[in-house]
C-alpha cells in the first residue's frame, strides 16, 4: 500500500476534483468573459481602426468622447427616454397587470394567456422584428393599417417615420412585460392561500384583496424587476437595431447601438471600445448593486409566520 | 347568533368526493366540534359555511335562509385558521381592525372596538406589534380578536390549538370555552384532537371520509358509539378490537367461546383498556403480561389472553406487574361493545355473558 | 378584565335579515363574480390578440401569398370562420355536460368550420413559397428577377439549418456539462474561496454581456476563431454559464445529503457517488437548462451577425435576415415561409417544455 501521507493524498484528490469540476467553467469564464473586459480597457487606449492593427497608445478616444462627439448626448437622451418609458409602461406596469389578471381567472385560462405572452420572448429576434415590420407597413399592406384604413376609415399610419420611439417602446415592451409577468406570477402564487380566504371572510372585495394582500407581497419582486430590467434595457439594442436601425436618422439611436455602429460599421474599434467602457462601468456598478440587493433578499426569504 | 342548517350538503372536486351529502343542525348559541382524522372533510365543511367553498349539492341555511350563493364577505362569519392567517405586513391593531373597514365603521368607533376586543382576548399590550414579532399563542389570540370584532353570527375555528404547545393548549381551551359562553355566539370548532372536542364542545360531530359517523355529546360518543370508527377514534389509549363470530347463541372470540344472544355472523368485540383490570392469576381471564408502559399516573399493559392480545390500563404509577407475569383479567360486562363487522354498526340488542360456555 | 362589553353582550337579536335580504346578497354576489371574470377575460383577450395575430398571419401568408402581393384576404377570411368556431366550442364547453351529445356537437362544429374554411380559402393555398426548401437558387427563380440582380448566391437553407442546429446543440451540450460539474462542486464541496467564487458568479450573472461585444470580436480575431461556428459556440456557452451554474447548483442543493452519504458509506468515491446517485436526481434541472439553452442558441442574432461572415457559416437567423433584406419588398410570401420554417422548432419546443421554460426564464438575458 502507499506510504504517502494520507492528508496530502486527500489534498491532491481535492485539487484533482477541483480541476475536474470547476476547471472547465473557470477557464471558459476567464477566456470569454473576463478577458474581454481587460481587452476592452486595453484597446480603448489604442488607435485601432479598420485594419485591426495597433500602432500607438493614446488617450485620444477619451478626449473625443468628452469633447468632440456630438452624438453622445442625444443618444444618451434617447436611451433614457426609451428605458424609462419601456420600463414604466410595460416591463413593470403591464407585467404586473398581466400577472394579476392571469392569476385572478381560472388557472387553465391564466396559464394559456401567460403562454401567449411568452411567445415573443421565445421567438427568434429576427422573426419577431419581421412580424413588426409587417405590422407597421406604411401602405395599406401593413396589418395595423389594414385595420385602421379598412375598418376604421383612418388615414394610413406610418409608425416608423412618425412615432419611432413609440414603436421601439412597444416592441421591446411586449418582450419585457413577459418577464415581469412570470416573476410576479410566481410571487403571487407563493402567497399562502389562507391569507386570501381570511381577507374574503373579513369582507374584502377583489380590489381590496389585491391592494392589501397581493401588492404588499410584491414589494421585493417589484424592486428586483425594476433594477434588473433597467440594466437590461440600458445595454440592449437587438430589437431596435432590427426594427428601426436607430432611425429615422438618429431618432431611436440608443447609446448601445451607437457604440456598435461606430465599431462595426465605421470601423472605429478603439473608439468603440472606449465608449463601451461606459456601458461596462454601468454594468459593473449595477451588478454590484444587485448583488447587495440579492443578498438582502436571502435574509428576508425566511417566512416567519407559522404557516402550515 | 344564528341557527345553522345543512341539508344534503355535499362537496366534490372533479371526481374526488370531499364531503358526502350531509344533514346537520346547529342551534343558535351552540358550541359544536367537528372531530375526525385529517382528510375526513371537516375543514371543507367549515369553509363551505364560511363561503370560501361553494357546495356542489344541498343547501346551507342561516336562520332558515338559504345562503349558498352569498359571498363570504356578506355572511358575517368570523373564522380563525389553523395558520392564523394574520396579514404579515400589518400591526395587530390593523389586523384586528381590518374587517371593520368593510363595514363602513368610522375610524374612532373602529379604534374603540379594536381595543375592546383586544382586551377580551388579552392582547391589548400588543397592538403595535407585527405578527412576526409574536409567539404562536399571541398570534392565535389576535386571530380570534379579528374574527370577533365584527360581531359575527357564526364563529368558525379550524384546528386553532394544534400549533400550540401543551400547556398553552390547556389555557386556550378554557379561555375559548369561557369566551364562547360569555358571548353566546354559535361556534363550530374543527379538530382531530378528541380531547379538544370533548372538553370544549356541547356536541361533537364525528366525521370520517366525508361522512358524519355520529353526532352527540361527548359522553354519548364515548359510552354508546354507534359506529366502529367512533369507538376507535374516541378514547385514549384506543379501544381493543377483537374479531369474532357468533352463531346459535354463542360467540367465539379468539380461543374463547362466550354465551351471546341476539347476534349472529361476523362481529367485532370492543373493550376499552380502562374497563379492563388485572388481578391475581387464576381469577378471571388467564393472561400473560407482554409489555409494560408507564404513563405517569397510569400504566398501560399489553396482555396476552385467550380472547387475543389486549391493552389494559391500570390506575396508579406503581407497577405491580412485570413482563412475563401471569395475571387474571377482569372485565365489566356492560363495558363490552359489539359491532357488526360489515356495517360497522353497534348491535344494541346483544347481550353477552363472559362466563365460558363449553 | 372589563366587566361590561356593551357591543359584545349576548342580549342582541338575531341578524334580522329576511330571506329577501339574503337573496339580494346572493344575487349581488353572483353578479359581481360574473362581471369581474368577464372584464378580466375581455382584457386578457384584447391584449393577447395583437400577439397571436401576426404569427397566424405569417403562417397564412406563407401558404397563400404570391409574388408581388401581400395576401391578407386569406387571413381575414380564416379569422372570420375560426373565431366563431372557437367561440362556439368555448360556449359548448362551458354550458353543457360532458357526454356523447357534446362530442357530436363539437365534431359538427369542427366539420362545418373545416368545410367552410376549405371552400373560402382552399383555392388560394399553395406551396410555391416553400420552394426554398428544395431549390437554393430560388431567389433568381422569382418572377421578374434575373441572375444579374442578385449579388451573390444564397446558401441552401439546409446549410443554415444545419449550422443553427450545430450551434444550438453543441452549445447546449457544453453549457450542460460544464454547468453541471461546476454546480455540483459548488453545492457539495467546501473549499477555500467558495464564498468568493459564488459572489463572483453572482456579479457575472447580473452583468450584461452584450457590452463586451467589441472586445469579444477582437479576441476571436486574435485567436483565429473569427468566422467559425466553434468560436460562436464558445462565446455563447460561456456567457450563459453563470446563469446555468446557479440553476444547476440550486437543483443539487435540493438533493438530500443522506443519499450521497449513503453512497459514500457504501464504498463509492465522491466521483462515483456523483455519477450514480446524485446525477439522476437533477434530470429535471438538466432538461430545463437544456431547453432554454437550445432555444437561446437557435435564436442568436447579434453575436452571429458580428462574428460570422462566410455564407456557408450562416445560421438560420442570418439566412432569414439576408433573404428578407434582399427580397422583402418583392415577395412577402417566401420570407414568411422561411420565417415559419425557422420559428417552428422554437414553438414546438416551447409548447412541449413550457412549464420548464416558465421556471427558467427568470434568468433571461433579453431585455
Query: What does the pLDDT look like over C203-244, one tens digit per residue?
Result: 888 888 889 999 999 999 999 999 999 999 999 999 999 989
Whether residues A216 and B51 touch (CB distance < 8 A) is answered with no
C212 and C333 both lie in a single domain = yes
Which residues 131-170 of C are in CB contact (within 8 Å) with A? none
Cβ atoms of B234 and B206 closer than 8 Å? yes
With contacts defined as CB-CB under 8 Å, which chain C residues touch B117? 8
pLDDT > 70? residue C6:
no
Compare all CA atoms of chain A with the CA of C363 and give the residue at the minimum distance: A179
Same domain, B164 and B286: no
Distance CA A296, CA A275 (A): 33
pLDDT band for A296, please (50, 70, 90 cuts).
low
How high does pLDDT run on average in chain C? 80
Each residue of C168-204: pLDDT tens digit?
999 999 999 999 999 888 887 878 788 888 888 888 8
Cβ neighbours of A191 (radius 10 Å):
16
Q: Is the peptide bond before C127 cis (omega within 30 degrees of 0)?
A: no
The predicted-structure confidence for C166-175, as pLDDT tens digits, reads as follows 999 999 999 9
Distance, in angstroms, between B32 CA and closest chain C CA?
18
Same domain for B245 and B204, yes or no, is no
Same structural domain, B81 and B177: yes
Write the CATH number for C333: 1.10.3720.10
A213 Cβ under 8 Å from any chain B Cβ:
yes
Q: Which residues of A touch B135 (CB under 8 A)?
A: none
User: Is residue C335 located within the same domain as residue C191?
Assistant: yes
pLDDT confidence of C353, banded at 50, 70, 90? confident
Same domain, B205 and B99: yes
> Is the residue at A43 inside a domain?
no
User: Strand B203-208 relative to strand B31-35: parallel, antiparallel, unpaired?
Assistant: parallel
- DSSP, collapsed to helix, strand or coil, labels residue C10 as coil
CB contact under 8 A, B71 and C7: no
* Final residue in a domain of this structure, among B202, B232, B262: B232
The answer to whether B111 contacts chain C (CB < 8 Å) is no
Q: Is the pLDDT of residue C13 over 60?
A: no
The domain tally of chain A equals 1
Whether residue B74 sits in one domain with residue B42: yes
Sorting pLDDT into bands at 50, 70 and 90, what band is A175? very high
Residues C319 and C276 in one domain: yes
* Residue (of A283, A292, A291) closest to A37 by Cα position: A283
Q: What is the pLDDT of residue B188?
A: 95
Q: A209: domain range?
A: 73-253
Range of the domain at B348: 239-356
Smallest CA–CA distance, residue C22 to chain B, in Å, is 7
Query: C317 and C210: one domain?
Result: yes
**Which residue does chain C place closest to A240, by CA atoms?**
C367
**A275 inside domain:** no
Whether C195 and C324 map to the same domain: the answer is yes
Instruction: Examine the domain organization and report whether B243 and B178 are in the same domain.
Output: no
Cα separations (Å) of C301 from B257, C298, C366? 89, 9, 12
Asked if C44 reaches chain A (Cβ–Cβ under 8 Å), the answer is yes
In chain B, which stretches have pLDDT less than 50? 356-358
Same domain membership, residue C300 and residue C201 = yes
Same domain, yes or no, for C247 and C341? yes
Phi first, then psi, for residue B6 (nearest 5°) are: -115, 125
Give the strand pairing for B298-305 and B265-271: unpaired
Q: Are residues C125 and C178 in the same domain?
A: no
Residue to mutate among A106, A108, A214, A306, with most B CBs inside 10 A, is A306
d(CA B322, CA B73): 61
Say what the pLDDT of residue A137 is. 78
Residue pairs spanning A and B at CB distance below 8 A: 81
- Are B116 and C5 an interchain contact pair (Cβ–Cβ within 8 Å)? yes
Any domain includes C16: no
pLDDT band at C58 (very low <50, low <70, confident <90, very high): confident
The range of the structural domain enclosing residue C215 comes to: 157-363
Q: Mark whether C198 and C243 lie in a shared domain.
A: yes
Same domain for C214 and C274? yes
Residue of C34 and A150 predicted with greater confidence: C34
Q: How far apart are alpha carbons C359 and C355 in whole angstroms?
A: 7
Identify whether C13 is part of a domain. Answer: no
Q: Which among A197, A203, A216 is the nearest to B81, CB-wise?
A: A197
Only one residue has cell 371552400, namely: C119
Task: For residue A191, give the CATH number of its domain.
Answer: 1.10.3720.10
| pLDDT band with cut points at 50, 70 and 90 for residue C140 | low
> What count of residues does chain A have?
308
Is residue C78 a part of any domain in this protein? Answer: yes
Chain C residue closest in CA terms to A20: C181
| Domain presence at residue A123 | yes
Please answer whether residues C204 and A33 qualify as being in contact, where contact means their C-beta atoms are separated by less than 8 angstroms.
Answer: yes
Same domain, B177 and B218: yes
**What's residue B191's pLDDT?**
94
Q: Which three cell numbers stand for residue B333?
A: 360486562
Residue C17 lies in a domain: no
CB contact under 8 A, B153 and C14: yes
Searching chain A, which residue's CA lies closest to the CA of residue B102? A203
Q: Considering only CA atoms, which of C301, C347, C237 is closest in space to residue A236?
A: C301
Strand order in the sheet with B4-13: B16-26, B4-13, B57-62, B65-66
Q: Does residue B160 sit in the same domain as residue B30?
A: yes
User: Could you tell me whether strands B186-191 and B31-35 are parallel, antiparallel, or unpaired per DSSP bridges?
Assistant: parallel
| Preferred mutation among C21, C23, C26 to probe B, highest tally of B CBs within 10 A | C26
Grid cell 456598435 is found at A260
Across the interface, which of B69, B74, B113 has its CB nearest the CB of C7? B113
Contact status of A306 with chain B (Cβ, < 8 Å): yes
SS3 A222: helix
Asked if the structure places residue A238 within a domain, the reply is yes
Which chains have 3 or more CB–CB distances shorter than 8 Å to chain A?
Answer: B, C
Task: Determine the Cα–Cα distance for residues C106 and A244; give it in Å rounded to an integer.
Answer: 45
CATH number at B227 reads 3.40.50.300
Query: How many beta-carbon contacts under 8 Å exist across B and C?
Result: 61
Q: Are residues C186 and C64 part of one domain?
A: no
Number of domains in chain C: 2
Per the CB < 8 Å rule, is C19 touching B120?
Answer: no
Q: How many Å apart are CA B217 and CA B204, to the nearest integer?
A: 6
Q: What is the pLDDT of residue C300?
A: 92
Nearest to B151 among C7, C29, C33 (CB): C7
**Pairing state between β B4-13 and B57-62:** antiparallel
Mean of per-residue pLDDT scores for chain A:
85
Question: Residue C284's pLDDT is what?
Answer: 79
- Cβ contacts of A194 on chain B, cutoff 8 Å: 81-83, 85
Subunits with 3+ C-beta pairs closer than 8 A to B: A, C
Note whether residue C21 is domain-resident.
no
State whether B200 and B128 are in the same domain: yes
Q: Which candidate from C1, C14, C28 shows the least CB-CB separation from B63?
A: C14
Q: How many domains does chain B have?
A: 2
What CA–CA distance (Å, rounded) separates C304 from C317? 8
A208 near C CB under 8 A = no
> For cell 417589484, what's the residue?
A222
Spell out which residues of chain A touch residue C238, defining contact as CB-CB under 8 Å: 28-29, 31-33
**What angle, rounded to 10 degrees, do the helices at A6-29 and C229-253 form?**
130
Task: Please give the Cα distance from A110 to B296 (Å, whole number).
Answer: 57
User: What is A184-201 written as a DSSP string?
Assistant: HHHHHHTS-HHHHHHHHH
**Which of C34, C214, C301 should be substituted to probe chain A, the one whose Cβ sees the most A Cβ atoms within 10 Å?**
C214
Q: What is the pLDDT of residue A99?
A: 94
Same domain, B186 and B203: yes
Q: Does B54 touch chain C (CB under 8 A)?
A: no
Alpha helices per DSSP H over B184-273: 194-200, 218-223, 228-233
C177 and C112, same structural domain?
no
Residues in chain B: 358
Q: What is the DSSP string of C66-119?
A: -TT----HHHHHHHHHHHHHHHHHHHHHHHS-SSHHHHHHHHHHHHHHHHHHHH
B151: Cα within 13 Å, side-chain hemisphere: 16
Tracing cell 391578407 back to the chain, one arrives at C72
Write down which chains contact chain C via at least 3 CB pairs under 8 A: A, B
Question: Which residue in chain A is spatially nearest to B150 when comparing CA positions?
Answer: A202
| CA pair distance C152, C156, nearest whole angstrom | 13
Closest alpha carbon to A143 in A162, A157, A163: A157
Distance from first CA to last CA of chain C, Å, rounded?
Answer: 61
Residue B266, H or E segment: strand B265-271
Provide the terminal-to-terminal Cα distance of chain B, rounded to the nearest Å.
61
C263 is a domain residue = yes
Q: What's the CATH number where B345 sits? A: 2.40.50.140
Give tens-digit pLDDT for A25-79. 999 999 999 999 999 999 988 888 888 888 888 888 888 888 888 888 899 999 9
ipTM of the complex model:
0.86
Distance from CA of B222 to the nearest CA of C (A): 32
Residue where one domain finishes, among candidates B212, B232, B252: B232
Residues of A whose CB is below 8 A from B82: 194, 308
The verdict on residue C151 lying in a domain is no
Amino acid at each position: 500500500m502507499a506510504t504517502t501521507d494520507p492528508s496530502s493524498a486527500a489534498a491532491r484528490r481535492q485539487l484533482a476534483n477541483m480541476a475536474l469540476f470547476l476547471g472547465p467553467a473557470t477557464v471558459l469564464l476567464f477566456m470569454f468573459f473576463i478577458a474581454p473586459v481587460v481587452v476592452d480597457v486595453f484597446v480603448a487606449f489604442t488607435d485601432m481602426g479598420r485594419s485591426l492593427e495597433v500602432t500607438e497608445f493614446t488617450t485620444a478616444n477619451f478626449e473625443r468622447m468628452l469633447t468632440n462627439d456630438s452624438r453622445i448626448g442625444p443618444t444618451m437622451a434617447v436611451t433614457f427616454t426609451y428605458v424609462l418609458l419601456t420600463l414604466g409602461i410595460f416591463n413593470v406596469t403591464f407585467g404586473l397587470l398581466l400577472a394579476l389578471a392571469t392569476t385572478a381567472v381560472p388557472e387553465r385560462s391564466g396559464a394559456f394567456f401567460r403562454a401567449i405572452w411568452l411567445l415573443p420572448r421565445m421567438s427568434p429576434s429576427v422573426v419577431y422584428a419581421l412580424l413588426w415590420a409587417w405590422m407597421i407597413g406604411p401602405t395599406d399592406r401593413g396589418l395595423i393599417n389594414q385595420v385602421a384604413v379598412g375598418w376604421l376609415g383612418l388615414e394610413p399610419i406610418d409608425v416608423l417615420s412618425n412615432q419611432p420611439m413609440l414603436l421601439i417602446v412597444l416592441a421591446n415592451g411586449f418582450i419585457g412585460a413577459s418577464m415581469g409577468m412570470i416573476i410576479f406570477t410566481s410571487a403571487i402564487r407563493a402567497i399562502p392561500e389562507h391569507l386570501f380566504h381570511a381577507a374574503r371572510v373579513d369582507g374584502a372585495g377583489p380590489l381590496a384583496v389585491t391592494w392589501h394582500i397581493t401588492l404588499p407581497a410584491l414589494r421585493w419582486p417589484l424592486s428586483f424587476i425594476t433594477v434588473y430590467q433597467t440594466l437590461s434595457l440600458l445595454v440592449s439594442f437587438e430589437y431596435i437595431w432590427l426594427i428601426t436601425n436607430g432611425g429615422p436618422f438618429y431618432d431611436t439611436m440608443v447609446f448601445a447601438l451607437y457604440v456598435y455602429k461606430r465599431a462595426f460599421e465605421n470601423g472605429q474599434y478603439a473608439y468603440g471600445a472606449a465608449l463601451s467602457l461606459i456601458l461596462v462601468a454601468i454594468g459593473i456598478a449595477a451588478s454590484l448593486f444587485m448583488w447587495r440587493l440579492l443578498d438582502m433578499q436571502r435574509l428576508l426569504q425566511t417566512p416567519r409566520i407559522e404557516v402550515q | 347568533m344564528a341557527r345553522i342548517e345543512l341539508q344534503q350538503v355535499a362537496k366534490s372536486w372533479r371526481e374526488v368526493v370531499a364531503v358526502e351529502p350531509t344533514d346537520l343542525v346547529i342551534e343558535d348559541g351552540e358550541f359544536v366540534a367537528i372531530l375526525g382524522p385529517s382528510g375526513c372533510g371537516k375543514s371543507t365543511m367549515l369553509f363551505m359555511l364560511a363561503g370560501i367553498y361553494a357546495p356542489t349539492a344541498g343547501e346551507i341555511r342561516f336562520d332558515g335562509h338559504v345562503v349558498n350563493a352569498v359571498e363570504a364577505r356578506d355572511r358575517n362569519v368570523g373564522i380563525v385558521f389553523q395558520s392564523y392567517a394574520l396579514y404579515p405586513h400589518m400591526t395587530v391593531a390593523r389586523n384586528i381592525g381590518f374587517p371593520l373597514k368593510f363595514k363602513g365603521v368610522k375610524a374612532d368607533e373602529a379604534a374603540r372596538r379594536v381595543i375592546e376586543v383586544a382586551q377580551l382576548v388579552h392582547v391589548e399590550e400588543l397592538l403595535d406589534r407585527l405578527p412576526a414579532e409574536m409567539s404562536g399563542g399571541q398570534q392565535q389570540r389576535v386571530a380570534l380578536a379579528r374574527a370577533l370584532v365584527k360581531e359575527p353570527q357564526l364563529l368558525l375555528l379550524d384546528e386553532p390549538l394544534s400549533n400550540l404547545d401543551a400547556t398553552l393548549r390547556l389555557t386556550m381551551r378554557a379561555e375559548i370555552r369561557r369566551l364562547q359562553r360569555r358571548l353566546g355566539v354559535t361556534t363550530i370548532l374543527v379538530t382531530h384532537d378528541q380531547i379538544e372536542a370533548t372538553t370544549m364542545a356541547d356536541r361533537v360531530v364525528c366525521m370520517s371520509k366525508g361522512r358524519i359517523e355520529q353526532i352527540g355529546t361527548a359522553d354519548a360518543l364515548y359510552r354508546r358509539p354507534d359506529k366502529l370508527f367512533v369507538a376507535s377514534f374516541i378514547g385514549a389509549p384506543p379501544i381493543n378490537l377483537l374479531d369474532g363470530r357468533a352463531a346459535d347463541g354463542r360467540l367465539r372470540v379468539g380461543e374463547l367461546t362466550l354465551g351471546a344472544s341476539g347476534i349472529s355472523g361476523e362481529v367485532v368485540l370492543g373493550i376499552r383498556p380502562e374497563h379492563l383490570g388485572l388481578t391475581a392469576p387464576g381469577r378471571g381471564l388467564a393472561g400473560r403480561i407482554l409489555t409494560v408502559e408507564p404513563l405517569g399516573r397510569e400504566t398501560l399493559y399489553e396482555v396476552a389472553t385467550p380472547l387475543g392480545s389486549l391493552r389494559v390500563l391500570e390506575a396508579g404509577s406503581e407497577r405491580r406487574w412485570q413482563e412475563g407475569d401471569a395475571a387474571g383479567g377482569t372485565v365489566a360486562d356492560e363495558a363490552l361493545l359489539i359491532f357488526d363487522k360489515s356495517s360497522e354498526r353497534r348491535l344494541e340488542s346483544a347481550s353477552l355473558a363472559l362466563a365460558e360456555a363449553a | 378584565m372589563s366587566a361590561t362589553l356593551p357591543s359584545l353582550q349576548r342580549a342582541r337579536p338575531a341578524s334580522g335579515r329576511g330571506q329577501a335580504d339574503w337573496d339580494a346578497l346572493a344575487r349581488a354576489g353572483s353578479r359581481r363574480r360574473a362581471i369581474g371574470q368577464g372584464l378580466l377575460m375581455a382584457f386578457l383577450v384584447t391584449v393577447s390578440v395583437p400577439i397571436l395575430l401576426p404569427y397566424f398571419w405569417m403562417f397564412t401568408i406563407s401558404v397563400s401569398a404570391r409574388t408581388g402581393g401581400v395576401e391578407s384576404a386569406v387571413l381575414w377570411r380564416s379569422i372570420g370562420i375560426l373565431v366563431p368556431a372557437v367561440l362556439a366550442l368555448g360556449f359548448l364547453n362551458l354550458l353543457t355536460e360532458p357526454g356523447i351529445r357534446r362530442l357530436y356537437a363539437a365534431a359538427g362544429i369542427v366539420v362545418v368550420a373545416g368545410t367552410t374554411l376549405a371552400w373560402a380559402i382552399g383555392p388560394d393555398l399553395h406551396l410555391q413559397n416553400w420552394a426554398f426548401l428544395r431549390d437554393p437558387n430560388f431567389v433568381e427563380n422569382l418572377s421578374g428577377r434575373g441572375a444579374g440582380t442578385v449579388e451573390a448566391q444564397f446558401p441552401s437553407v439546409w446549410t443554415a439549418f444545419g449550422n443553427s442546429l450545430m450551434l444550438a446543440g453543441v452549445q447546449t451540450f457544453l453549457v450542460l456539462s460544464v454547468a453541471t460539474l461546476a454546480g455540483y462542486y459548488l453545492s457539495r464541496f467546501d473549499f477555500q474561496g467558495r464564498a468568493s467564487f459564488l459572489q463572483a458568479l453572482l456579479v457575472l450573472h447580473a452583468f450584461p454581456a452584450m457590452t463586451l461585444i467589441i472586445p469579444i470580436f477582437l479576441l476571436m480575431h486574435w485567436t483565429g476563431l473569427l468566422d467559425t461556428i466553434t468560436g460562436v459556440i464558445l462565446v455563447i456557452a460561456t456567457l450563459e454559464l453563470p446563469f446555468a451554474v446557479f440553476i444547476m447548483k440550486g437543483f443539487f442543493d435540493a438533493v438530500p445529503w443522506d443519499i450521497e452519504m449513503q453512497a459514500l458509506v457504501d464504498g463509492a468515491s465522491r466521483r462515483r457517488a456523483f455519477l450514480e446517485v446524485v446525477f439522476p436526481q437533477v434530470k429535471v434541472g438538466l432538461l430545463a437548462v437544456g431547453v432554454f439553452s437550445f432555444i437561446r442558441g437557435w435564436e442568436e442574432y447579434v453575436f452571429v451577425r458580428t462574428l460570422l461572415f462566410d455564407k456557408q457559416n450562416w445560421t438560420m437567423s442570418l439566412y432569414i435576415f439576408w433573404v428578407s433584406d434582399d427580397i422583402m419588398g418583392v415577395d412577402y410570401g417566401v420570407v414568411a415561409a422561411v420565417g415559419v420554417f425557422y420559428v417552428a422548432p422554437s414553438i414546438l419546443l416551447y409548447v412541449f417544455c413550457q412549464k420548464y421554460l416558465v421556471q427558467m426564464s427568470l434568468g433571461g438575458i433579453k431585455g
